Amino acid sequence: MFKANPEIQKKVDEIRKDPDTVDWIATINSESAKINYEKHLAEYLIYRKLTIPKLVASFKKDENKEIKNVQSFTNHMLKRLAGGTVANYVSAIKSRMQYDGIPFTRNVKIPNRTYHPTVENEVIPTKDQIISFLRNGKHATQVIISLIAFTGFRFNVIADLRIKDFPEMQITENNEVVFEKIPTRVKVRKELSKNGKAYQSFLIETGCMILKNSLEIRMTKGEKLDSESLLVPTECENTTVRQRAKAISRRLNTVFEKVEYGSRPYSLKNFFATALLNSGLEQNLQTFYMGHTGPVQNVYSLQRQQPTEQVEKMRTLFKEKIQPNLIPQENNVDATVRNEFKKFAKAMGVEVSEDANSDETIEEIALLYKSALHDISSREKKPKISQKRITEAELDSHLNDGWELHSTLPSGDIVVKLSA
């Protein structure tokens, strides 16, 4: 729910009381569009100082005049927002009017509609950078990175992907994750797809091993997994998919900040899109693997329940054409150094988890080393005892340890000193 601007929120609450608007929102497939469209419409109503019924009546009375008002609103919003963002406001108004049978017969002009400053400066990550992201992420974050970079999934998809969506993945009685086939099939349910249509993709071996490691670690910690278990649990697990998606995005931002990578988390999806572009596959198949709306044959041949031979054909195409562009080739020297650090840490008695990255391992070694230095330093600062007072019964043992008799006290106790 939008709460940043009380005036807008008040207007949103008002338009939600309109039955037609409630029915209109229900027709929108995208969860994010449902939330944003009512906010955008609310801002236009505030700008025009109208209610929903009065806006509909105004369009019906003089559509041309009202579209001019929309253009005026657009020009106003362009003073502080990018053209692509303002276009979403226009789409919201247009969608609501079309629900009442009022088509826009004139276009609203939006200069630089396709210009997105954040996107223009964005850099698509390399394979080496993908390795760096994986190395610096916890096991759950590694799963997120894999699912975006190796399948092109959106945050909203990942936020509600469950074990049941991996039909070729099994969990044995010994809590071992086993894949019947690799690349393994992943089903994206229609409620998670942006276009409201179910589709499927495949996850390469690297991603499968990362997923296997993450799930087995969770089970080792005592978590019980079943078909409904989320692949990436979050602190807001029982809330909406959108809220979980935001939590997932924040995890990636943490990794990107750590390695000083400046582009958005969404750039990982561009890594997969680039792999598709370099695959040589026909556009129809590229569109399908991205989960986008494509030619009508996608609906009949790809998005329906497929026979086994068709699934295998799609898997083979993915493995031969797309996978080579996705596999991150780890630098052997870097891998050797990282493994040696882990061996060194274990030899020193440091507990190193299997999903610990190099930086964490080095930090653990450094902490232990500093602690040892402090201990040695504190011992060296203690003054050495050159003589002490003992009883007669303790004399023999001290003489055997190198002490010498110095004097006898009136009480009968003896003073001994260390021999030079």
What's the pLDDT at 163?
Answer: 93
Residue 103 domain-assigned?
yes
Q: Tell me how far apart the alpha carbons of residues 166 and 340 are, in angstroms, rounded to a whole number.
A: 35
Q: Does the pLDDT of residue 265 top 80, yes or no?
A: no
Predicted local distance difference test score (pLDDT) of residue 300: 41
Structural domain contains residue 1: no
pLDDT tens digits, residue range 234-248?
876 557 788 888 888
**What per-residue confidence (pLDDT) applies to 278?**
82
What's the burial of 218, exposed, middle or buried (CB within 10 Å: 0-12/13-18/19+)? middle
Residues 140 and 234 in one domain: yes
pLDDT tens column, 320-361: 888 888 887 654 445 555 566 566 666 666 665 555 555 565
pLDDT of residue 396: 84
Same domain, 137 and 180: yes
Distance between CA 360 and CA 9 in Å, rounded?
A: 44
Q: Which residues on neighbouring strands pair with residue 169, listed in sequence order?
A: 179
Let me know whether 101 and 206 are in one domain.
Answer: no
Asked if 148 and 245 sit in the same domain, the reply is: yes
pLDDT of residue 85: 83
- Spatial distance between the Cα atoms of 186 and 206, rounded to a whole number of angstroms: 15
In a domain, 301, yes or no: yes
The Cα–Cα gap between 213 and 210 comes to 5
- Asked if 154 and 280 sit in the same domain, the reply is yes
> What's 313's domain CATH number?
1.10.443.10
300 and 341 inside one domain: no
Order the strands of the 387-390 sheet from edge to edge: 387-390, 414-418, 403-408
Question: Is pLDDT above 80 for 395?
Answer: yes
pLDDT band at 380 (very low <50, low <70, confident <90, very high): low
The structure tokens listed for 366 are: 């450094």
Higher-scoring residue by pLDDT: 381, 28: 28
- Domain shared by 350 and 393, yes or no: no
**Is residue 225, in this structure, part of any structural domain at all?**
yes
Confidence of residue 117 (pLDDT cuts 50, 70, 90): low
Q: Which of 103-117, 149-163, 291-305 has the lowest mean pLDDT?
A: 291-305
Tens digit of each residue's pLDDT (9 = 90 or more) over 58-100: 999 998 899 999 999 999 998 888 888 888 899 999 999 999 9
Q: Are residues 308 and 230 part of one domain? A: yes
The predicted structure's pLDDT at residue 179? 94
pLDDT at site 55: 92
Q: Look at the chain and report how many structural domains it folds into.
A: 4
Residue at which a domain ends, from 325, 356, 371: 325
| Confidence at residue 371, expressed as pLDDT on a 0 to 100 scale | 66
Residue 34: pLDDT band (50, 70, 90) is: confident
Closest Cα to residue 123, out of 262, 328, 294?
Answer: 262
How would DSSP label each residue in 38-52? HHHHHHHHHHHT--H
Are 250 and 343 found together in one domain?
no
Residue 146, domain extent: 127-325
pLDDT in tens, 267-307: 888 888 888 888 888 777 777 777 765 554 444 444 445 67
Whether residues 70 and 149 share a domain: the answer is: no
Residues 95, 219 within the same domain: no
pLDDT at 332: 47
Q: Is residue 90 in a domain?
A: yes
* Residue 185 lies inside a defined structural domain of this protein: yes
The domain boundary, picked from 281, 302, 325, lies at 325
Q: What is the pLDDT of residue 296?
A: 41
pLDDT mean over 189-204: 83
pLDDT of residue 297: 44
pLDDT for the residue 128: 85
Which helix H or strand E contains 200, and what residues bound it? strand 199-203
Between 380 and 32, the higher pLDDT residue: 32
* pLDDT over threshold 80, residue 27: yes
Same domain, yes or no, for 71 and 49?
Answer: yes
State the pLDDT at residue 373.
64
pLDDT at 115: 59
